[in-house]
């Protein structure tokens, strides 16, 4: 399927430098047919699926939005209204309808990255009649944006009909970072970069730690900032809380997926390598468990172990052995030699006297 772009001209964003992610690794050569799609289940047993997940995978909306549809009574299963998102359904037998329209699981998933221009709303439909990002994509398949970009913010926007993938990218527990270029009204102070890295209070609760880098040779007014949360206008509000006004904001990367030469208003399909890498980033990391400290009886003082370099005890033992060996091999001093000679002379004189008596 060829790329379709609505005919419209945009000004190129030449004021934003090229972003290079220091953590991004070069894509390896992999066979798209081997890893791009998940393995099919060969078993004849059909697994039951949660209702909200079924709606999301059908491309209707993201899982959180699916919960809202269920709570408000807009979803029926086999002609019965269901208000519990965790209800299990059989994708092959049960009839699920949203607002009276029957939905079916998607047979093909599509993943798109769009260079969203400023002046577009990140939604499928706008009541005020403003242009939406869907006007820029001419595919017949229903796609939904993964997250949002403000009306005045441009840059990377992911769209898909895969509800499960969308949920993986947006849910805070997966900590998928999004990187922005921000131009400020005044130089960024070093103390404020520390505050951003520790978290800033917004709406009475702190944000998660951000990654911040000041772009050199820009008067410290241009920065890269990466966050993994998705609060409303979060980057702007974090900087406003520290007394800065954001004059320009552009998202340059989402889950290590960049624009790669796209112009404003253009889009492309995700490569198999980008898709695989994004899913790896969302995969939960194994937990690390540490042994609890030994219990100390009441009344006894707690002994603190001195922290030193790794292998410190072994090195000390080796040093002690070397010292002992050196002490054995060292030559005796002058006084020790005289004493040994005098003892030998005494022994010899005793032997001579014993022989005379005999």
Which are the catalytic amino acids?
A: 150
**How far apart are the C-alpha atoms of 343 and 341, rounded to whole Å?**
5
Contact present, 113 and 268 (Cβ < 8 Å): yes
User: Measured on CA atoms in the order 276, 281, 282, 283, is the torsion positive or negative?
Assistant: positive
Under 8 Å CB-to-CB from 231, ≥6 apart: which residues?
Answer: 202, 203, 207, 237
Contact present, 255 and 278 (Cβ < 8 Å): yes
Largest CA distance in the chain: 135
101-110 long-range contacts (CB < 8 A, ≥24 apart) are 103/55, 103/58, 103/60, 104/58, 105/54, 105/57, 105/58, 106/57, 106/58, 106/59, 106/161, 106/162, 108/141, 109/160, 109/161, 109/162, 109/165, 110/139, 110/141, 110/143, 110/160, 110/161, 110/162, 110/269
Burial class (CB in 10 A: 0-12, 13-18, 19+), 90: middle
Q: Which helix (H) or strand (E) holds 133?
A: none
3-state secondary structure of 265: coil
**How far apart are the C-alpha atoms of 230 and 147, rounded to whole Å?**
7
């Amino acid at each position: 399927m060829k790329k379709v772009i609505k005919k419209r001209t945009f000004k190129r964003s030449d004021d934003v430098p090229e972003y290079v992610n220091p953590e991004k690794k070069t894509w390896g050569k992999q066979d798209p047919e081997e890893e791009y799609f998940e393995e099919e289940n060969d078993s004849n047993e059909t697994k039951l699926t949660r209702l909200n997940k079924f709606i999301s995978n059908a491309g209707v909306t993201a899982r959180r939005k699916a919960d809202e549809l269920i709570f408000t009574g807009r979803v029926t299963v086999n002609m019965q209204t269901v208000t519990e998102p965790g209800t299990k359904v059989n994708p092959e037998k049960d009839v699920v309808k949203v607002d009276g329209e029957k939905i079916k699981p998607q047979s093909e998933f599509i993943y798109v990255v769009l260079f969203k221009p400023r002046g577009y709303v990140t939604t499928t439909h706008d009541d005020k009649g403003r242009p939406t990002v869907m006007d820029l994509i001419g595919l017949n398949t229903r796609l939904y944006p993964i997250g949002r970009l403000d009306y005045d913010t441009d840059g990377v926007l992911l769209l898909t009909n895969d509800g499960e993938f969308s949920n993986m990218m947006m849910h805070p527990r997966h900590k998928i970072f999004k990187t922005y270029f921000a131009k400020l009204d005044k130089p960024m102070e070093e103390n404020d970069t520390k505050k951003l890295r520790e978290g800033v209070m917004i709406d009475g609760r702190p944000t998660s730690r951000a990654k911040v880098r000041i772009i050199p040779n820009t008067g410290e007014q241009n920065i890269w900032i990466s966050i993994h949360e998705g609060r409303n206008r979060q980057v702007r509000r974090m900087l406003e809380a520290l007394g800065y006004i954001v004059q320009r904001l552009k998202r340059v990367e989402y889950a290590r997926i960049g624009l790669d030469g796209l112009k404003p208003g253009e889009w492309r399909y995700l490569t198999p390598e980008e898709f695989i890498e994004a899913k790896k980033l969302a995969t939960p990391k194994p937990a690390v468990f540490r042994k609890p400290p030994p219990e100390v009886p009441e009344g006894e003082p707690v002994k603190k172990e001195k922290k030193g370099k790794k292998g410190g005890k072994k090195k000390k033992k080796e040093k002690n052995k070397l010292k002992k060996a050196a002490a054995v091999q060292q030559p005796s001093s002058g006084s020790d030699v005289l004493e040994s000679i005098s003892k030998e002379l005494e022994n010899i004189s005793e032997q001579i006297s014993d022989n005379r008596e005999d």
